[in-house]
Structure 1
Amino acid sequence: MNIFLADDDEDDRIFFSDALKEIPLDSQVKTFSNGVELMAELHSEIPLPEVIFLDLNMPMMDGFECLEDIRAVDKFKTIPVIIYSISLHKKDVARLEEMGATRYLKKPSSYNQLKTMLYKCLSPIRDQNFNEAQSFLIDE
C-alpha cells in the first residue's frame, strides 16, 4: 500500500512511519512537511497513493486548503484522505467531512494506540472493503 503523509512536525512523521512498519500491512510511506510539497508530488507522481494522511496545521498550505485542492482534481477524487490531527473541534470535524475527507484520525498519545488506529483505518482500504458506515471520527 502506497501512503502519503503531510505533517509539518518531523517527530510526528517519524512516529507515524515507525508505527506503520510494525503493523501487518505491506506498505510504504512517503512524507511531506507541508501541503505544497504534497500537492507538487501528487501532480507528478505515478502511480498515485492509495491513501493520504493530512495534518491540519501546516505552514504554507494547511490541511483544509490541501483537502480542497485534492478534491478539486478529478484524478484525485477517489483517493481516501484521512485527516491526522490533534485538533478535535467539532466545527472542524464537521467541515472536513463536508469537504470530502474520508476519515478523521485524532493523533493518539501512545505509540501502541497509533498502531491500532492505523490498522483500523488502513485494513479496509487495503482489502477494498471500505465501509461508509464506519465512523468518520477515529479517536481511540
Structure 2
Amino acid sequence: MSAIKIYLADDDGDDRELFIEALSEIPLETTVTEFDNGIDLMDDLFSNKPLPDVIFLDLRMPLMDGFECLSDIRSFNQFSQVKVNVYSSSYHEREVNQLKEDGANRYLQKPTSFNQLKTLLYKSIRHLEKDDNQGSAAQFVILT
C-alpha cells in the first residue's frame, strides 16, 4: 500500500509542526504537504500534481478561510473524491452543521494534548475510504 497523501492547511506553524510530529508516531504511512493559507492550497490543487487523499483544513486562516476554501474545493468536480477534514480549535454547532452541508467529510476539534492528537489523526485517517458526509453527526464530528 502506498503512503496516504495528506495536505495540511493551517496558518499556525506550531500547530502544523505538532500535527506532523503526531503523524510520525501513528502506525500509518503518510506524506504531508503543508500550506499556511487556503490560496496556496488551491493553487497546488490546480497544478498538475497528483491530488491528495485527504486535506486537513484549518477553519480560521487569513487570506482564504476554511469555509471559503471548502466551498471552492467542492465547486470543482475534479476534486470530488478528495476527502476534506476541517480541523479547528473552536466548536460551534451551527458552523459544524454548515461545514457538513458544504461538503466536508469530517469535523475535528483540535485536542489539548499530544496523545489526543495522535488518536484523533489515527481515527480520521484510518477510515478514509468509509468517509462520506451523509453519516450521523456523531460520525461527522470527531472529538477526543
What TM-score do you get using the length of structure 1 for normalisation?
A: 0.94
Unaligned stretches of 5+ residues in structure 2? none
Candidates 65, 70, 75, aligned match of 1:67: 70
Would the aligned equivalents of 2:105 and 2:131 in 1 still touch at CA under 8 Å? Answer: no
Candidates 2, 9, 13, aligned match of 1:10: 13
Give the whole-Å Cα distance in 2 for the aligned partners of 1:30 and 1:120.
Answer: 20
Instruction: Tell me if 1:31 matches 2:61.
Output: no
Question: Secondary structure in 1 aligned to 2:7?
Answer: strand
Give the whole-Å Cα distance in 2 for the aligned partners of 1:78 and 1:2.
Answer: 13
| Alpha-carbon offset, residue 46 of structure 1 | 2.0
Give the whole-Å Cα distance in 1 for the aligned partners of 2:70 and 2:130.
Answer: 23
RMSD over aligned Cα, in angstroms? 1.2
Identity of aligned residues (%): 52
| Alpha-carbon offset, residue 29 of structure 1 | 0.7
User: 1:116 corresponds to which residue?
Assistant: 119
For residues 62-119 of structure 1, give each alpha carbon's deviation from its aligned partner in whole angstroms, at most 9, with x where no partner exists: 0000000000111101111000001101110000000000000000000000000101
Instruction: Tell me if 1:42 matches 2:78.
Output: no
How many residue pairs get aligned? The number is 138
Candidates 63, 71, 78, aligned match of 2:81: 78
| Alpha-carbon offset, residue 45 of structure 1 | 4.4
